[in-house]
Amino acid sequence: MTTQTTLSRTKAPFRADHVGSFLRPESIKKARKELAEGTITKEALREIENVEITRIIEKQIELGYKGITDGEFRRSYWHFDFLENLLGFEGYLAAQGKQFHNVVTSAHSVRNIGKIAFNPEHPFFADYAFLAEAVGDKAVAKVSIPSPNQLIRLGFRNEEVYPTLEEYAADLQQAYRDTILHFYSLGNRYIQIDDTFWGDLCSEKALEIFGSQETYDELKRVATENVKNIQIGLPEDLVVTTHICRGNFRSSYSQEGAYEPVAKELFGETGFDGFFLEYDTDRAGGFEPLRYYKGDGQIILGLITSKTPELENIDEVKARIAEAAKFVPLVQLCLSPQCGFASTEEGNNLTEEQQWAKLALVKQIADEIWGD
């Protein structure tokens, strides 16, 4: 594939982009341990996080990235830190963690304890404000939050509070719309909705997960409506993307299965401006499901793995992009790692130097193909 200098992008999502999380530095790990032991304050931890976040902002910009995150350095988990701070939910220790391939996560979870609503004091707002100020006009500050679909999983809804799934989903969607609009009021113009629920729906073990075809069909319908409805009434200059994942914990995964079972709904109905798609292994199948995408947004191909340190072969990555371009025009394709490097604070099994090498590879390939 030859360089297409006319295909560079100045609007998110970008030709070279990334999902968001980075490996936590030892300074933050040490400070979190000291906070748990009571030897430092929350304020002291935050100052350490500020220093490290500023450092990785500069590193992303140095590598040529235009969409900048805080690496999720203030989070323990990609999802729970956000979800448990919505009104109507609380964090707690479950009986057991989630089973991944050959590894089990911690037992932390969330549960519905009351009516769901927007939380104007959600800590993510202050976190974004710091990121936005630090990025300034040098790039675009990007927010990543978990999808409302994470909360329609079986067992999350409190049936005493919400007798029906429809009532539950309606309040959840409103809380999300209000949250997204508040990010917008703080200056955000690029938000990513991270979603592993589609990975469950794609899973080869889907009926084992959901128990029956009837439940599967109902939850696929609700999942589609959830992400469609949270976008209703959003400003036109706000870019809303989604990231679809099959699990990312300590370099392991939780599900296998191609996009085909959900492709019509996900690509044809949800209306996102961009889709970050896991495509680093054959666990996600081929590009054929992309035939359902007829929108004018971007498909961001996650062809570079964040799970292992070895660098991908450039020619092989370019060949896969060419294959994807049979289903979606090259002008609507971008490149990224398949997931973040640390969906939880434990992180994947590679070094920070190897992490940056992966991002440098993404940027190099994007430059050579699109003239990014």
Report, in angstroms and rounded to the nearest whole number, the Rg of the chain calculated over CA atoms.
20
Q: Report CA 203 to chain centroid distance, whole Å.
A: 18
* pLDDT surpassing 90 at residue 53: yes
Q: What pLDDT, in 10s, does the model give residues 85-130? A: 999 999 988 765 554 445 545 668 899 999 999 999 999 999 999 9
pTM of structure: 0.94
DSSP 285: -
Q: What is the rounded CA–CA span in Å between residue 113 and residue 271?
A: 31
Alpha helices in the chain (DSSP H): 26-37, 42-62, 80-83, 123-135, 165-185, 197-202, 206-210, 213-229, 263-269, 314-324, 352-370
Q: How confident is the model at residue 2 (pLDDT cuts 50, 70, 90)?
A: very low
Q: ∠ at Cα 21 (19, 22), nearest 5°?
A: 125
* pLDDT surpassing 90 at residue 165: yes
Q: How confident is the model at residue 3 (pLDDT cuts 50, 70, 90)?
A: very low
Torsion over CA: 131, 133, 138, 142 (sign): positive
